[in-house]
Structure 1
Amino acid sequence: MPLATRYELPAAADFHVHLRDGAMAAAVVPTVRQGGVNVAYVMPNLVPPVTTVSQAQAYKSRLQHLDPSVTYLMTLYLHPTITPDVVREAKKAGIAGIKSYPQGLTTNSESGVTDYAAFYPVFAAMEEEGLVLNIHGECASDHKKNITIMNAEASFLPTLKEIHNRFPKLRIVLEHCTTADAVKAVEACGETVVGTITAHHLFLIVDDWAGDVFHYCKPVAKMPNDRLALLKAFVTSRGKFFLGTDSAPHDISAKKGPGNTAAGVFTQPYAVPYILTALEEAIARGDISEDQVTQELLEGFLGGWGRKFYGVEDSEEGAKKGERIVVEKKDEVVAESFKGEGGIEVVPFRKGQKTWSVSWA
């Protein structure tokens, strides 16, 4: 039996979004709800990075000005200026978590971490206060150690285990998992450790991004068996993994212009539809079965499990309580691009291809 052609679901919650700032934010923030999402967990890797409570609050105000109907959950950037006192201030101010980036490995990560042990006092304070540690779980390439972008995530996993063992009550999210090894590592940890899965990693393997700049992201998509592991984790984890799109807009000039290609895939306008399309294609390949895709699964992965992990209530500012979406198999085609002021143009994932449609109930 194929998938149903229509699902009515609670509004989705995306626990990993890049909304940028300025003109780019003005172009992409309106696409949050377009994708069926009313809760956005906002990444702090602006320039300069968001490292203080006042910066996070000001950033949130700018986002609310662009679209006040979304609940924005704000984060700080793990940085040498983050101290236990900053953690306590962040908790009082309603900051949801602190994001760790490995130095220099992805967009705006020049101020990232080189030594996790140096932040153990910060992690202890986060554990005590209940802030979430969000980890971009990769090691920097080191050819002497045989580390490249293909095994950077697997090389990081011992560090995840070490942090979890030292701080067992610290809630940790291994962001944008891409490998079977990452799935196993998250599953082997206690209930305080979860993982997010993007929409695009449910589609892509290495062959897809090797020749297409609009499929290139960090961490890169890996092997077919890794994609299979993500799909199986999706349909069987019951809360250990949930949606974090890592939607990362870049102007077309940064993707196709001279110099290094910017890492990032833009999925925000079709966040929920892409998930249904990915599941449909996975069923057609025989990776999963249609009976595994239930109403309960979709409600959990697309928001329920993440809301529970983060303690997000429907009544929080921004999104209206009890909002619902309808996702349908129609003739929706992904737009060729999204344009903003100043000549900004962002190309979405799978442009020109069919996907599901989403509307607000």
Structure 2
Amino acid sequence: MTTISINSPADFHVHLRQGSMSALVTPHVRKGGFNLAYVMPNLNPPITTTAQALLYKAELQKIDPTVEYLMTLYLSPDITPEEIRNAKKAGIVGVKSYPRGVTTNSDGGIESYEMYYPVFEAMQEVDMVLNLHGEIPSDSNTNTHILNAEPQFLPHLHRLHAAFPSLRIVLEHATTRAAVDAVKQCGETVACTITAHHIALTVDDWAGQSWNFCKPVAKFPDDRQALRDIIREGHPRFFLGSDSAPHPPHSKSTSTPSNGCAAGIYTSPILLPLVAHLLESFGALERLQGFVSENGRAFYKREVSRDIQTTVVLRKVNAGSGIIQEAYGLGTDSVVPFWAGRKLDWEIVEGQ
């Protein structure tokens, strides 16, 4: 039997929602093999204050206290340098920037970075992380749409890095070769998350396939190859951030002329076996420990533990097992995972 032991798996980008949906999906962080979750703040209303973030963390801990939750704030005009200092003292780790209207619950997103320079200066001083959703809004006047929104964002990344060279910045869920190259060109304070689904999908997989639709959308085969290559290389500033985003099935499976299907792919309950399956498929299984644990933890200054309680064991599945569940439910809530009904080549050894 083939097994792999992974120390301290950490998901550095996950959506855990709120209310009854949160009760359903929060335990899936641990179910998917992870003991650290970097939690996104785009709730309704968004998390913009330290008090809100701490309250949200307490709610998540009540649902599943076995996971370490790293909390973030939603960049908005409500955030001041003083709020940044308070957040740092309270253990808040980062601030997430969403351009207006590009993804779920981003209607209050930013339109210009310059007004936030005093906030970024405070973040640099106290060593908080700036997380960037790396797209700009669609605009017919500039020929900007979902396929080139990420490359057109990258000058913002370079300007922010030049203005605040000591500010730790993470370009979230990269989907293009241009994004990979941009992060590589930056200094040691700039890193990048990569999702499991973006190393699996291309345009053809989501065009007309609502279950594979997310923001940013998967791009072209060469872009996917760039993501795979940087993982295979083992570059220390690229690591897993699942962007696992649960939506009710009715919001994923239907759309109308006035309201398209929800943007988001749900991977939390199968995440570690899925990543192992994918990395093995392109010859990068030896990079699994670095990609899902060491690289991200080093950038976020979270120690890798060798304790048995934080070690997850994967094993090659037997014939007929490893089938991904069709759906997960709790009460009246349900979610459909990525690749529902398909077979993975790895599974978590129960009881670890």
> Normalising TM by the smaller chain, what interval?
over 0.9
Q: Which residue, 291, 316, 320 being the options, matches 1:301?
A: 291
Deviation at 1:22, TM superposition (A): 0.6
Whole-Å separation in 2 of the counterparts to 1:172 and 1:314: 21
Instruction: Provide the residue aligned with 2:210 in structure 1.
Output: 213
Deviation at 1:186, TM superposition (A): 0.2
Structure 1 range deviating more: 350-359 or 61-70: 350-359
Instruction: Provide the residue aligned with 1:357 in structure 2.
Output: 347
Alpha-carbon spacing, 1:112–1:269, altered in 2? closer, same or farther (3 Å): same
Alpha-carbon spacing, 1:117–1:225, altered in 2? closer, same or farther (3 Å): same
Amino acid at match of 2:247: H
Instruction: Provide the residue aligned with 2:263 in structure 1.
Output: 263
Structure 1 range deviating more: 190-199 or 321-330: 321-330
The 5 Å alignment of 1:238-253 reads 238-253=235-250
Whole-Å separation in 1 of the counterparts to 2:250 and 2:133: 25
Deviation at 1:173, TM superposition (A): 0.2
Whole-Å separation in 1 of the counterparts to 2:238 and 2:82: 31
Instruction: Provide the residue aligned with 1:347 in structure 2.
Output: 336
Do the aligned partners of 1:78 and 1:113 also contact (CA within 8 Å) in 2?
Answer: yes
Do the aligned partners of 2:81 and 2:122 also contact (CA within 8 Å) in 1?
Answer: yes
Do the aligned partners of 1:102 and 1:114 also contact (CA within 8 Å) in 2?
Answer: yes
Whole-Å separation in 2 of the counterparts to 1:200 and 1:252: 18
Deviation at 1:237, TM superposition (A): 3.9
Q: Please state if 1:57 is matched with 2:54.
A: yes
Q: Which segments of structure 1 move beyond 3 Å, counting only runs of 4 or more?
A: none
Deviation at 1:358, TM superposition (A): 1.2
Whole-Å separation in 1 of the counterparts to 2:98 and 2:2: 39
Q: Which structure 1 residue ranges, 5 or more long, are not aligned?
A: 283-289
Deviation at 1:171, TM superposition (A): 0.1
SS in 2 for 1:345: strand
Instruction: Provide the residue aligned with 1:17 in structure 2.
Output: 14
Deviation at 1:323, TM superposition (A): 1.3
Whole-Å separation in 2 of the counterparts to 1:352 and 1:8: 26
Instruction: Provide the residue aligned with 2:112 in structure 1.
Output: 115
Whole-Å separation in 2 of the counterparts to 1:110 and 1:237: 36
Question: Per-residue displacement from partner, 1:184-242 (whole Å, max 9, x unpaired)?
Answer: 00000000000000000010000000121110000000000000000001111431100
Instruction: Provide the residue aligned with 1:197 in structure 2.
Output: 194
Do the aligned partners of 2:71 and 2:94 also contact (CA within 8 Å) in 1?
Answer: yes
Number of residue pairs aligned between Structure 1 and Structure 2:
344
Do the aligned partners of 1:314 and 1:321 also contact (CA within 8 Å) in 2?
Answer: no
Question: Per-residue displacement from partner, 1:316-346 (whole Å, max 9, x unpaired)?
Answer: xxxx8751111112021111011122x2121
Q: Please state if 1:68 is matched with 2:57.
A: no
Instruction: Provide the residue aligned with 1:106 in structure 2.
Output: 103
Q: Which residue, 83, 86, 90 being the options, matches 2:83?
A: 86
Instruction: Provide the residue aligned with 2:272 in structure 1.
Output: 272
Whole-Å separation in 2 of the counterparts to 1:280 and 1:91: 39
SS in 1 for 2:322: strand
Q: Which residue, 21, 26, 33 being the options, matches 2:23?
A: 26
Q: Which residue, 291, 298, 311 being the options, matches 1:324?
A: 311
Question: Per-residue displacement from partner, 1:6-40 (whole Å, max 9, x unpaired)?
Answer: 21111310000000011000100111111110000
Q: Please state if 1:35 is matched with 2:32.
A: yes
Whole-Å separation in 2 of the counterparts to 1:5 and 1:185: 37
- TM-score for the superposition, normalised by structure 2: 0.95
Query: Percent of pairs identical after alignment?
Result: 51
Instruction: Provide the residue aligned with 1:144 in structure 2.
Output: 141
- TM-score for the superposition, normalised by structure 1: 0.92
Do the aligned partners of 2:234 and 2:291 also contact (CA within 8 Å) in 1?
Answer: no
Q: Please state if 1:336 is matched with 2:323.
A: no
Q: Which structure 2 residue ranges, 5 or more long, are not aligned?
A: none
Whole-Å separation in 2 of the counterparts to 1:191 and 1:11: 23
Deviation at 1:307, TM superposition (A): 1.0
SS in 1 for 2:159: helix
Question: Per-residue displacement from partner, 1:171-191 (whole Å, max 9, x unpaired)?
Answer: 000000000000000000000
Whole-Å separation in 2 of the counterparts to 1:349 and 1:80: 35
Q: Please state if 1:46 is matched with 2:46.
A: no
Deviation at 1:314, TM superposition (A): 5.8
